[in-house]
Chains A and B, each alone.
Chain A
Amino acid sequence: MSSPDQLIIFDNVSKFYGEILGVNRINLQVAPGITSLVGPNGAGKSTLMNLMTGLLRPTRGSITLLGIPTDQPEQLFRKVGYCTQFDSFPRGVTGREFINSFLIVHGYDRKRANELSQVALERVNLVEAADRKVAAYSKGMRQRIRLAQSIAHEPAVLILDEPLNGLDPMVRAETIALFRRLADEGLHLIISSHILHEVDMMSDRVVLLNNGYIVAEGNIHGVRDEMEEHPMQILIRCDQPAKLASYVFEQNHVVEARLHDDRRGLFVKTRDADRFYLMLNRAVAEGEVSVETVAPVDDDLSAVYQYLIGPSGASA
């Protein structure tokens, strides 16, 4: 069990914009590692991030990051970096000046600020363009310079609102690898994204949001296991799918079995995947069928998203 000064804690947090709901009754504890916020536009992802960083104040409830309340920026941002979605910059600055100037505002001396800027620029592969005006940067470069600015002071918590937007595939892969490295160093990374397969690939945990409410949270496979109203789909490639079908129909946890179009596999829907796998092992051991591969079909974020939120807003 982690102590409060190692966690990000939302305690019954609500945010209303006048009559309009931002998020409601959020209770959440975030441990180190990569936690992704997923949900359609307007679900409350950015609101949650802005609340976490004090850019917004909760209407009700309280938030602490590593034990620090969000209304103490002077303490909070010694440990927190936030890369927002706002694609705007102070006028006339170069990339290096942009990072440097806010490090100096943090309280670093010029020499240390220069060193930290250089490290941050190297981490996002932007050293060559560092002395050019930000106004001349491409969208992807602007995204990366904002990322560099948010990590330059070496925070313990990094909050990233759609950080992969505008990046080309190569840079996306590099950036995801950077996130993974930072998480392995023990950082909290809170990331929002629409790109479900990337979230699936990099996240330790997901928080699914819809209409301002958390609809599910935790390890994606754990979330999937708990969705009893949506039986797990498994595809078994084997030599005798019809025989296997008759075998699995005897199990009361199996709700559906359907032959694959090529008749060399069987789709099974089961309410208890563990019992199904035990049954399958037994069938193989008894020589009933010869199994080539077994793969869950809907044990990923896309499927969970479809089941819990629906097709709107998802992009796989």
Chain B
Amino acid sequence: MSAVAETIPARSNEWALWFRQIGAIFRLEIEKNFLSRRSILIYLIALLPLFPLSIFALVTPPGREWQDLNHYNMLYAILYNGLILRTVVFFGCAWIFMNLFRGEIVDRSLHYYFLSAVRREVLVVGKYFSGLVTSMILFTGTAVIAMLLLFLPHIYSQSVRFFTAGPGLSHLLTYAGITMLACVGYGAFFLVVGLFVRNPIIPAVLLYFWEWLNFLLPPVLKKVSVIHYLNSLVPVPISEGPFAVVAEPTPAWIAIPSMLGVTILVLILAAYRIRHLEIRYGSD
């Protein structure tokens, strides 16, 4: 009766099959990420910095500093670090990536994947990429639109020169790149948390405080965080206050491969976990 052998490639073509399966899982998940009821919260998080910036765009405050490009540069650096990176990207990734598996366990629908002829590692990769693309589109979009919304309405001609002839475009692309890297790192962390922990809110909050307290940590401990590597890459460094423990920023050629390396290790851990995961919805 089985016609599977006709259409599913033999072992020699396993890679082709895996890529096709990753693509299929990716498409299913991306639709869920963008169009399900759960995605409403993601849109709200992504729009969080854009609401106040839209209102701020309508009125330029009085004062000479509001005509100074450097002031906006610093303002955006603070906004990016405090609100976009540490709040929007952090909680957005937490919601997207923790729900990739945990959400399906709550919905009692994960078993359909587990009952398909697909390696569970392939499932991890497909789901992770779907979360990555979703978070990158939304939060990179937020970072870019926020920057344009902050600069253009108030000092239009200076801003146009800044983005076309000055370092503005490079800053914009760097912030976009850091946002993507943050999605890679936080995404992998939250994917694993969603697999190991029944209530992922607690580890998410713990990590949130760890990241916020990073400026107080000794240099060695600073390196055990995502935010340290991301902060090392920002084009406009900001002061972390009088109590901050100063540490040399990690060069980009170390920061980026380190983040990617740790992400791969975390994904291997996720693959191991999913390989041994049992479906016992009652106990979840």
Q: Which of A55, A76, A89, A185 contacts B117 (CB 8 A)?
A: A76
Q: List residues of B (14-42) whose CB comes within 8 Å of A's CBs.
A: 17, 20-21, 24-25, 28, 32, 35-37
CA distance A105 to B283 in the complex (A): 27
A102 interface residue (CB < 8 Å to B): yes
CA distance A17 to B284 in the complex (A): 13
CA distance A84 to B280 in the complex (A): 12
Q: Are A155 and B32 in contact (CB-based, < 8 A)?
A: no
B9 interface residue (CB < 8 Å to A): yes
- Contact A90/B118 with A108-B8, A155-B2 known, Cβ cut-off 8 Å: no
Q: Which of A54, A77, A90, A154 contacts B109 (CB 8 A)?
A: A90
Q: Are A107 and B8 in contact (CB-based, < 8 A)?
A: yes
Q: Are B109 and A105 in contact (CB-based, < 8 A)?
A: no
Q: Are B1 and A82 in contact (CB-based, < 8 A)?
A: no
Cβ distance A10 to chain B, nearest Cβ, rounded Å: 17
A79 interface residue (CB < 8 Å to B): yes
- Contact A74/B118 with A101-B28, A186-B1 known, Cβ cut-off 8 Å: yes
CA distance A150 to B117 in the complex (A): 12
A106 interface residue (CB < 8 Å to B): yes
- Contact A77/B115 with A107-B9, A154-B3 known, Cβ cut-off 8 Å: yes
B248 interface residue (CB < 8 Å to A): no
CA distance A56 to B130 in the complex (A): 27
User: Count the A residues whose beta carbon is within 8 Å of the partner chain — how many?
Assistant: 43
Within 8 Å CB of A55, what residues of B? 111, 114-115, 278-279
Within 8 Å CB of A79, what residues of B? 2, 4
Q: Which of B7, B36, B122 contacts A112 (CB 8 A)?
A: B7
Q: Are A102 and B116 in contact (CB-based, < 8 A)?
A: yes
Cβ distance B97 to chain A, nearest Cβ, rounded Å: 18
Cβ distance A33 to chain B, nearest Cβ, rounded Å: 14
A136 interface residue (CB < 8 Å to B): no
A270 interface residue (CB < 8 Å to B): no
CA distance A102 to B9 in the complex (A): 17
CA distance A112 to B109 in the complex (A): 24
Q: Are B111 and A73 in contact (CB-based, < 8 A)?
A: no
A256 interface residue (CB < 8 Å to B): no
- Contact A56/B280 with A88-B108, A102-B112, A105-B25 known, Cβ cut-off 8 Å: yes
B276 interface residue (CB < 8 Å to A): yes
Q: Are A78 and B8 in contact (CB-based, < 8 A)?
A: yes
- Contact A109/B7 with A57-B278, A86-B108, A91-B36 known, Cβ cut-off 8 Å: yes
- Contact A105/B7 with A73-B120, A156-B2 known, Cβ cut-off 8 Å: no
Q: Are B1 and A107 in contact (CB-based, < 8 A)?
A: no
Q: Are A56 and B279 in contact (CB-based, < 8 A)?
A: yes
Q: List residues of A (145-200) whose CB comes within 8 Å of B's CBs.
A: 149-150, 153-156, 185-187
Cβ distance B195 to chain A, nearest Cβ, rounded Å: 16
A12 interface residue (CB < 8 Å to B): no
Within 8 Å CB of B1, what residues of A? 154-156, 185-187
CA distance A242 to B271 in the complex (A): 75
Instruction: For A75, give the chain B residue with the smallest CB separation.
Output: B117
Q: Are A105 and B113 in contact (CB-based, < 8 A)?
A: yes
Q: Which residues does A use to contact B, with CB under 8 Å?
A: 17, 50, 53-57, 71, 73-79, 81-82, 84, 86, 88-92, 101-102, 104-109, 112, 116, 149-150, 153-156, 185-187
For the complex of A and B, the 5 pairs showing the least CB-CB separation, nearest first, are A88-B108, A77-B117, A55-B279, A104-B24, A107-B8
8 contacts between A and B (CB under 8 A): A73-B116, A73-B120, A90-B32, A90-B112, A102-B113, A105-B25, A107-B24, A156-B1
